[in-house]
Amino acid sequence: MELLIVSLASLLAGLVDAIVGGGGLILLPVLFATFPGAPPATLFGTNKSASIWGTAFATVQYSRKVVMPWRSLLPAAGAGLLGSLVGAWAVTQVDPSLFRKALPFMLALLLVYTLAKKEMGHSHAPRFAGKQEAWIAAGIGLVIGFYDGFFGPGTGSFLVFAYVRLLGYDFLNASASAKLINVATNFSALVLFAIQGHVWWHLALAMAVSNIVGSLIGTRLALKHGSGFVRQVFILVVLALICKTAYDTWLR
């Protein structure tokens, strides 16, 4: 029964992750509710062991239908990998509790800006090209990769917003590009968790398969309905993140 519950949650998480990120909002609470006595690091590691597969398959699916800017994406993914490792190290040196209190406000500003700029992300008009885009994308990957390793919630949403706002992508292309960077940041975190023994491999396989199925469904929905649909899901996910992080910070 526990395996069935977490597998279903992993499927739904993969679906949401494939569209705009934020699948951890679904899977992590279910893992904590199903295994209340487990060490948090083990549940985070097990979550990563599933989500990385769904994100990787979503990247492949998007690459077949959307023109992926590989010349800027690969440096961004490499920078994201490095940033995530540095962030994971930093969290062992600095208490992130102060940042936790600021996160709901940061997400609220992001949501208000997105709602105010109704045309933002509807048309795909990249502002940069060549090396200039590669450097800016690498900067995005480094900063948000560091955030993912240091803290984590909302990484996919921050990546999508950065690609839309800074690089001029529409929501569909931004979501597609964000997937590869997310794979890189998830990989570095998963390696660290695995080395420390914080992955339940007996759950990982079933959860990974479910996450892949969910990601394939989510990718098809995003490609079928386009940027407007992805924008709506983005707004819902950011709103859910605001509620979740505010609750964790002040009410729990």
- For position 70, what pLDDT does the model report? 94
Lowest mean pLDDT among 37-46, 94-103, 186-195: 94-103
Residue-level pLDDT at 95: 67
pLDDT computed for residue 132 by the predictor = 95
- Alpha-carbon distance 136 to 172, whole Å? 19
DSSP labels, 154-218: THHHHHHHHHHHHH---HHHHHHHHHHHHHHHHHHHHHHHHHTT---HHHHHHHHHHHHHHHHHH
3-state DSSP assignment of residue 22: coil
pLDDT confidence bin for 161, thresholds 50/70/90: very high
pLDDT (tens digit per residue) in 81-111: 999 888 878 766 776 666 777 888 888 998 8
pLDDT score at 21: 84
Considering only 4-18, 61-75, 93-107, which range has the smallest mean pLDDT?
93-107
* Total residues belonging to the chain: 252
